[in-house]
Chains A and B, each alone.
Chain A
Amino acid sequence: MKTRDEIRFLLNGTEVALSDIQTGETLLDYLRLRRRLTGTKEGCAEGDCGACTVLVGRLSGGVLRYESVNACIRFLGSLDCCHVVTVEHLKRADGSLHPVQQAMVDFHGSQCGFCTPGFVMSLYALWMREPGPGEQAIEKALQGNLCRCTGYEAIVRAARAAGEISSVGDPLVEERDSVTSRLAAMRDGARVEIGEGRERLIVPANADDLAAILEEEPKATIVAGATDVGLWVTKFMRDIGPVVFIGGLEDLHGIEEADGMLRIGAGVSYTDAFDLLSRRIPALGALIERIGGEQVRNMGTLGGNIANGSPIGDTPPPLIALGARLVLRKGGSRRTIPLETYFIDYGKQDRMPGEFVEAIELPLPPEGTRFSVWKVSKRRDEDITAVLGAFNVSVENGVVTSARIAFGGMAATPRRATAVEAALTGRSWNADTLEQAVAALAEDFSPISDMRASANYRLVVAGNLLRRFFLEGVEGHVPLMLSRHEAA
């Protein structure tokens, strides 16, 4: 195995090679403290406010793609062979502003200005991706950016106006070919190894290399998107070494459909999964749009959302309801388990030392079943779930033939509602059955009260989501839910 002892990336126009980095060193600290690129701000250090938004470009199947990310929880070790673009890169050599920046000035999109570079970068990512964005696209692009001054209206006006301006003179458009070849030249297929013991930082060359590394370092922290592990460092000051960064492993990025099943590699980000999922299982696509903000969806992975075992992870309940299986790998051997058995208890999962989540196998719901998933949170977007319900029910001739129902936020792990399922299965699909099923929720769950919701609210909402699922089947003509964008 070829190894090298430095992380290489392109920072704006400059090539960087670093061998003196800490396991938990963030991109934001590197930019601000070591490079004095202070345009990128720290607002929260947990990936929620977006003041630290930068773009990261990477080659995906040979094509250069830029995505917005939160520099505050992005580790330097995860940037090998990437292009990091900060706000300092946007202004033209003659001093004139980029269209996105000019629009923000013209439409009074800044007041205190502290969040502004982050907004500019999120809008820049949108502007590159989608000329003339609609309201929905703008709001989605800004889900991960907080502004406390403007009330956003001026920023949205600026986003609309910037969309009208062409990309002539844009640095990333002009540099596209040269950046592509510079990044390609960095990719030498080597494993990156820096430091030893608890200071050890590894970027495997590929998935097989990862398997080998974990056999040797079974206690290593595995970092994919870092949207959770990032906070271990910035908030809990935890040492995460030895650490293995797997976000860049292309052989874990596969997402394909075959034989009525989707196979999703553990390194597939929410953003990468979105297109296919929203086409094949629209309810899941709609849910993904409410996970984190754009930056978090660009970093976070479905594999990580499962592997970390959170009781309020958003994807496990629908995946459980859909009957997903988890492919775990240790060295050269693999085992496949039903996803629901992975979650043993709070903080405890069915994953052996040295084992890692390699893929998720997701059966597509067959004809005749109805699948819905709803997330309820204090704030609609970029919030952590209070209650999440996923319903996968088949009804034949008015009788429930199968029911897989799972909830998040109701117990120490994402879990099936077995009593509810039993109350439905084999029964007539009517209001009486529904109410008995709602009553059975109390057998399945004794939720807790916390800062997100009271136990009572959680139980009432869980029951009401079940009622919504029922009404959805019978009362299609009246609005059952709020919709932010009518046409969507």
Chain B
Amino acid sequence: MNKHQAQLDRKRISGGVATDQRHDSAHKHVTGEAVYIDDMPEPAGTLHACLGLSTVAHGDILAMDLSAVRAAPGVVDVLTASDVPGVNDLSPTGLHDEPVLAEGKVHFFGQPVFAVIAETREAARRACRLAKIDYAELPALIDVADAGPDAPLVTKPLTLLRGEVEIALGEAPRRIRGQMRVGGQDHFYLEGQIAFAMPGEDGDVLVHSSTQHPSEVQHMVAHALGVSSHAVTIEVRRMGGGFGGKETQANQFAAIAAIAAKRLKRPVKIRPDRDDDMTATGKRHDFLIDYDVGFDDEGNILAADFAYAARCGFSADLSGPVTDRALFHCDNAYFYPAVRAVSRPLYTNTVSNTAFRGFGGPQGMVGAERIIDEVAFAVGKDPLDIRKLNFYGGPGRDTTPYHQTVEDNVVERIVAELEESAAYARRRREIAAFNKNSPVVKRGLALTPVKFGISFTATHFNQAGALVHVYTDGSVHLNHGGTEMGQGLYVKVAQVVAEEFQIDIDRVKITATTTGKVPNTSATAASSGSDLNGMAAQDAARQIKTRLIDFAADRYEVPTDQIVFLPGRVRVGNQEIAFDDLIHQAYMARVQLSAAGFYKTPKIHWDRDKGQGHPFYYFAYGAACAEVSVDTLTGEYMVERVDILHEVGRSLNPAIDLGQIEGGFIQGMGWLTTEELVWDKKGRLATHAPSTYKIPLASDRPKIFNVALADWAENAEPTVHRSKAVGEPPFMLGMAVLHALSDAVASVAGHRLCPRLDAPATPERVLMAVERVRAGQADA
């Protein structure tokens, strides 16, 4: 028997697309063998950095006495702004508003002012505490609710406008104005920020950075060092979680480590303590949303007017695109005949807020769902009926506030199927009966949809590169610009390449993301990882395949259309050749077996000044139905049951996608329930550790949790194997819990008053809403 016989009989490869592949590092995660940056062996002479943080929210630095810091045991060097050899700026949008180290002035409590470099991490941390800095304190704006009408903005606001809003509001039979607060969120990636810089020859530097955006770290480090980008290499094999918190926030740590490493010609690592990490790095923006909605007696929304004010912190960072995306989602899945939405990206004396899963979209959508609730209570209907009444529809009801036509709408089908599978109507009746006989514990139910726009709204970011090598033994080396933060991107892209070549996935080596292999990449963000990098890797593989086909056609004298890649082999006319053999033959014939792939998303464009365009390639849809019980004596609650139906097109990897949906939902639920950021009067973040900042635990997850992928879904656009992005959209399914809590609260007064339950709906906010609604009933 031929040694390739087994290969030649195979019907399917292992690890192709649309199969449940485990995470490529799963076996290393469970044994502790997966290497994170802090686990890498430290070369002899490695030094450790620690940031010295400001202790006022806003002030001029009058004097800085760092002599005790310098004299402390183990301290090798202390850096201040003047030690930044290049430009002392990390602004990702080029606004020059975010120094590496504060210069003359501090803008928030916890801003990095200096950096200590010491022989050990502990010595650096201890020395940091010895600084004496005198500040002349300035008035500080901490909360957006305190912002006056002329409060400064960090970036240019956006207005979306369609129709005659004022007129439509004025003419609407009914109208409600209100305000909603929605809190921010700390990423709480389990692996904190970290960078490890190695000085090289010619002044080069290699930085291991836990970042979602190696190219930007590269540019920022080069900028801060005053060198060309080619002198800086950034590498990241994996992050211990990102969630947007390592899109721009890794820059500062990488810059400090690189500056110190070059200056001292020794490796330098910086890993802030969790409290410093939470204090000094940006979070999800909290918003104050003003709304004004006009509707008829049936509950049809006729006009909506929104103002989204965001606590951006002291610099722009990504606040422009984040607040833009909030406006892009002020509609969620609903058609507004007339609409206006304006953003207000406010300067505040707090840490500069940044990207976080959903990127403003969740905050935008929460506003949409609030007005649905308002309308439902006003007309006395179940909020689900109002939702269904206002969904996007066919022509005439398919234009978004940014004038893009919704062409792929499946929200009605998703919601109808979920309503059925979750037995919404029956449970609605059962809950009403339960509540009637239960004076203390009340139950609530809600079903909320999600429609989320996929693409970076900055059109130029929608590009990606990949590098694929086939070695002479037929094994494959895969690299691309996407980063792995746990979401399973690496395995999905490897599946795409395995599928392309029709080889088993274990023949494809997944390698660390590095700016040296694939340049000028975009952040792994905006849910775009698989869409962009999967296509780029597919392109690289197809280039190599095309060369192999041309070679085989020539060598075996068959037309190219008679050459087919089968599992582990290639059919060339009437014969089949093992893949590895064909590769070897191609090499001997001097065929290039390496290719750089590239992809750019088609169709998209966006004119921000006009507020019009086609910013999203497609939309992702889903819906969740949540049931909660609330203790009306304490405001404590429990999530009894959640049903989710989500669509990811044709899934590349259903197991990974389900993990994204479950995890995204819980994270979204946490944002809207127990995760509360509190600043004290001095502008100090009081919730800067897991002891005070409460993300969900296993015992917070729904008692019953049914999650399904829509098995009929496929992307209307030709994305990679017709799949859809899955990183962010499920996060917003968590809204169902907020609305179920609101429903339970409303039950204490017979569902006559909209509870206007703000987020996060901590037990305290729930109890206060209960008291408010009860009092409202007493007044009525």
What is the bound-complex CA distance between A481 and B41, given in angstroms? 52
Contacting B at CB under 8 A, from A417-456, are: 450-454
Is A48 part of the binding interface, using a Cβ–Cβ cutoff of 8 Å? yes
Q: Which of B35, B241, B631, B701 contacts A151 (CB 8 A)?
A: B701
B764 in contact with A153 (CB, 8 Å): no
Is A237 part of the binding interface, using a Cβ–Cβ cutoff of 8 Å? yes
Min CB distance B372 to A, Å, is 26
Give the A interface residue count (CB, 8 A).
88
List the A side residues contacting B767 at CB < 8 Å. 457, 460-461
B437 in contact with A478 (CB, 8 Å): yes
List the B side residues contacting A342 at CB < 8 Å. none
Q: Which of B438, B634, B700 contacts A464 (CB 8 A)?
A: B634
B438 in contact with A479 (CB, 8 Å): yes
Is A352 part of the binding interface, using a Cβ–Cβ cutoff of 8 Å? no
Q: Which of A39, A149, A451 contacts B663 (CB 8 A)?
A: A149
Contacting A at CB under 8 A, from B420-476, are: 437-441
List the A side residues contacting B129 at CB < 8 Å. 237
What is the bound-complex CA distance between A37 and B148, given in angstroms? 54
Stretch at the interface among B19-27, B250-258, B586-594: B19-27
**CB nearest neighbor in A for B192:** A43
Chain A interface main SS type = loop
List the A side residues contacting B485 at CB < 8 Å. 112
Min CB distance A203 to B, Å, is 23
A146 in contact with B695 (CB, 8 Å): yes
List the B side residues contacting A111 at CB < 8 Å. 23, 486-488, 659, 663
What is the bound-complex CA distance between A111 and B357, given in angstroms? 16
Given A112-B241, A149-B486, A482-B636, A381:B697 Cβ within 8 A: yes
What is the bound-complex CA distance between A483 and B486, given in angstroms? 33
Is B114 part of the binding interface, using a Cβ–Cβ cutoff of 8 Å? no
Q: Which of A143, A149, A156, A383 contacts B241 (CB 8 A)?
A: A149
**CB nearest neighbor in A for B630:** A482
List the A side residues contacting B243 at CB < 8 Å. 148
Q: Which of B31, B126, B438 contacts A39 (CB 8 A)?
A: B31
Is A101 part of the binding interface, using a Cβ–Cβ cutoff of 8 Å? yes
Contacting A at CB under 8 A, from B621-664, are: 629-631, 633-638, 655-656, 658-659, 662-664
| Best-surrounded residue of B486, B629, B680 (most CB of chain A within 10 A) | B486
Given A146-B697, A237-B126, A465-B633, A44:B238 Cβ within 8 A: no
Min CB distance B767 to A, Å, is 7
A39 in contact with B656 (CB, 8 Å): no
Is A379 part of the binding interface, using a Cβ–Cβ cutoff of 8 Å? yes
**CB nearest neighbor in A for B694:** A379
Min CB distance A24 to B, Å, is 10
A150 in contact with B241 (CB, 8 Å): no
What is the bound-complex CA distance between A264 and B641, given in angstroms? 41
List the A side residues contacting B631 at CB < 8 Å. 481-482
List the B side residues contacting A482 at CB < 8 Å. 441, 629-631, 636-638
Contacting B at CB under 8 A, from A104-139, are: 104-106, 108-117, 120, 138-139
Q: Mark B3-29, 1 if CB is under 8 A from A, else 0.
A: 000000000000000000011011111
Is B125 part of the binding interface, using a Cβ–Cβ cutoff of 8 Å? yes
Is A232 part of the binding interface, using a Cβ–Cβ cutoff of 8 Å? no
What is the bound-complex CA distance between A450 and B687, given in angstroms? 10
Stretch at the interface among B150-158, B183-191, B376-384: B183-191
List the A side residues contacting B29 at CB < 8 Å. 104, 110, 113, 116-117
List the A side residues contacting B699 at CB < 8 Å. 139-140, 142-143, 380-381, 484
Is B61 part of the binding interface, using a Cβ–Cβ cutoff of 8 Å? no
Min CB distance A476 to B, Å, is 12
B240 in contact with A112 (CB, 8 Å): yes
Q: How many A-B residue pairs have CB under 8 A?
A: 266
Is A4 part of the binding interface, using a Cβ–Cβ cutoff of 8 Å? no
Q: Mark B679-694, 1 if CB is under 8 A from A, else 0.
A: 0100000110111101
What is the bound-complex CA distance between A191 and B678, given in angstroms? 47
Is A56 part of the binding interface, using a Cβ–Cβ cutoff of 8 Å? no
What is the bound-complex CA distance between A289 and B66, given in angstroms? 47
Is A334 part of the binding interface, using a Cβ–Cβ cutoff of 8 Å? no
Min CB distance B268 to A, Å, is 17
**CB nearest neighbor in B for A290:** B699
List the B side residues contacting A146 at CB < 8 Å. 188, 190, 690, 695, 697
Min CB distance A81 to B, Å, is 25
Stretch at the interface among A58-66, A86-94, A273-281: A86-94
A139 in contact with B240 (CB, 8 Å): no
**CB nearest neighbor in A for B699:** A139
List the A side residues contacting B691 at CB < 8 Å. 44, 46, 48, 384
Given A154-B659, A380-B699, A114:B190 Cβ within 8 A: yes
List the B side residues contacting A113 at CB < 8 Å. 23, 25-26, 28-29, 34, 238, 240, 486
B689 in contact with A48 (CB, 8 Å): yes
A112 in contact with B692 (CB, 8 Å): no
B32 in contact with A108 (CB, 8 Å): no
B636 in contact with A152 (CB, 8 Å): no
Given A151-B701, A451-B687, A460-B771, A110:B440 Cβ within 8 A: no
Given A153-B701, A479-B438, A112:B189 Cβ within 8 A: yes
B38 in contact with A38 (CB, 8 Å): yes
Is A219 part of the binding interface, using a Cβ–Cβ cutoff of 8 Å? no
| Best-surrounded residue of A46, A152, A235 (most CB of chain B within 10 A) | A152
Q: Which of B190, B438, B659, B686 contacts A49 (CB 8 A)?
A: B190
Is B768 part of the binding interface, using a Cβ–Cβ cutoff of 8 Å? yes
Q: Which of A117, A154, A484 contacts B32 (CB 8 A)?
A: A117
Given A237-B126, A478-B439, A143:B697 Cβ within 8 A: yes
Is B417 part of the binding interface, using a Cβ–Cβ cutoff of 8 Å? no
Is A147 part of the binding interface, using a Cβ–Cβ cutoff of 8 Å? yes
What is the bound-complex CA distance between A383 and B33, given in angstroms? 31
List the A side residues contacting B692 at CB < 8 Å. 384, 451-452
Is B275 part of the binding interface, using a Cβ–Cβ cutoff of 8 Å? yes
Contacting A at CB under 8 A, from B188-205, are: 188-192
Contacting A at CB under 8 A, from B697-739, are: 697-701, 703, 705, 707
A383 in contact with B30 (CB, 8 Å): no
A46 in contact with B687 (CB, 8 Å): no
List the A side residues contacting B274 at CB < 8 Å. 43-46
Q: Mark B742-780, 1 if CB is under 8 A from A, else 0.
A: 000000000000000000001110011001000000000
Is B239 part of the binding interface, using a Cβ–Cβ cutoff of 8 Å? yes
Min CB distance B612 to A, Å, is 37
What is the bound-complex CA distance between A39 and B32, given in angstroms? 4
A378 in contact with B27 (CB, 8 Å): no
Is A35 part of the binding interface, using a Cβ–Cβ cutoff of 8 Å? no
Is A376 part of the binding interface, using a Cβ–Cβ cutoff of 8 Å? yes
List the B side residues contacting A234 at CB < 8 Å. 273
List the B side residues contacting A139 at CB < 8 Å. 697-699
Q: Which of A90, A142, A237, A464 contacts B698 (CB 8 A)?
A: A142
List the B side residues contacting A40 at CB < 8 Å. 32
What is the bound-complex CA distance between A162 and B190, given in angstroms? 24
A44 in contact with B697 (CB, 8 Å): no
Q: Which of B30, B238, B275, B698 contacts A117 (CB 8 A)?
A: B30
A151 in contact with B662 (CB, 8 Å): yes
What is the bound-complex CA distance between A473 and B35, given in angstroms? 57
A112 in contact with B486 (CB, 8 Å): yes
Min CB distance B658 to A, Å, is 8
A114 in contact with B700 (CB, 8 Å): no
B638 in contact with A44 (CB, 8 Å): no
Q: Mark B658-681, 1 if CB is under 8 A from A, else 0.
A: 110011111100000010101010
With A108-B23, A116-B32, A378-B676 already in contact, 4 other A-B pairs whose C-beta atoms are closer than 8 Å: A87-B31, A145-B698, A383-B694, A450-B678
A-B contact pairs, 17 of them (CB 8 A): A32-B38, A38-B39, A43-B690, A97-B30, A111-B659, A113-B28, A115-B190, A145-B698, A147-B698, A151-B664, A154-B659, A379-B696, A380-B697, A381-B699, A381-B700, A461-B635, A479-B438
**Lowest 10 CB-CB distances: which A-B pairs, in order?**
A39-B32, A112-B486, A114-B240, A113-B29, A151-B666, A111-B486, A48-B690, A38-B39, A110-B29, A379-B694
